[in-house]
Amino acid sequence: MVENGKLHREEGPAMGMTNGTKKWYRIGELHREDGPAVEWANGDKEWWINGRIHRADGPAIERCNGDKEWWINGKRLKQPPIKLYSTISNILNISNDICSICMDDFKDIETAGRIKCGHVFHINCLSTWINVKKNCPLCRKAL
């Protein structure tokens, strides 16, 4: 769908190619918040936000051969910025008992992420933070 001269679609891909590749756009830029913005016909996947390759909660590029690349706001990282845990009880020696981004207590059923400096946050809070800042909310070390 074209809106104001730019590819845009709220639900489903804005562009489906004849080879099976699918692309999601918002206001002319690759963008998708609930999954990969590009699903290549060969099975490769790419996550994009506001026209920049980006994914805070996993690799931004997943290749069908198993290779993975981590990107934040269009910049490639050498290593994953976050270690994910399905429940708080999976994190030993937790350094903080509340998420310092939202100030809520951790509950055992929530997904959490530990960044390089060792601090732990709700993964949804951390994803939002990383979109704006490039450092730890507590100690300010670079991600």
**Span 1-44, pLDDT tens digits:** 555 556 656 666 767 788 999 998 888 888 888 889 999 999 99
Considering the chain, what percentage of its residues have pLDDT values greater than 70?
76
Q: Are 84 and 73 in contact (CB under 8 A)?
A: no
Confidence band, pLDDT 50/70/90 cuts, at residue 64: very high
d(CA 60, CA 81): 12
Q: What percent of the chain has pLDDT over 90?
A: 21
Please give the residue that has the higher pLDDT: either 76 or 45. Answer: 45
Q: Is the pLDDT of residue 52 over 50?
A: yes
Q: 72-97 pLDDT, tens per residue?
A: 888 888 777 666 655 555 554 555 57
- The pLDDT of 49-69, averaged and rounded, is 89
Q: What three-state secondary structure class fits 123?
A: helix
Please tell me the predicted confidence (pLDDT) of residue 82.
Answer: 64
The beta strand positions in the chain, using DSSP E, are 2-3, 6-7, 15-16, 22-23, 25-26, 29-30, 38-39, 45-46, 48-49, 52-53, 61-62, 68-72, 75-77, 82-85, 112-115, 120-122
Residue 109 has pLDDT above 60, yes or no: no
Q: Which tokens sit at 72? A: 């934040």
Quick: pLDDT tens for 22-32: 998 888 888 88
HSE at residue 15, side-chain half, CA atoms within 13 A, is 22
pLDDT at 7: 61
Number of H helices, E strands in the chain: 1, 16
Question: Mind listing the domains of the chain with CATH numbers?
Answer: 2-73 (no CATH), 82-132 (3.30.40.10)
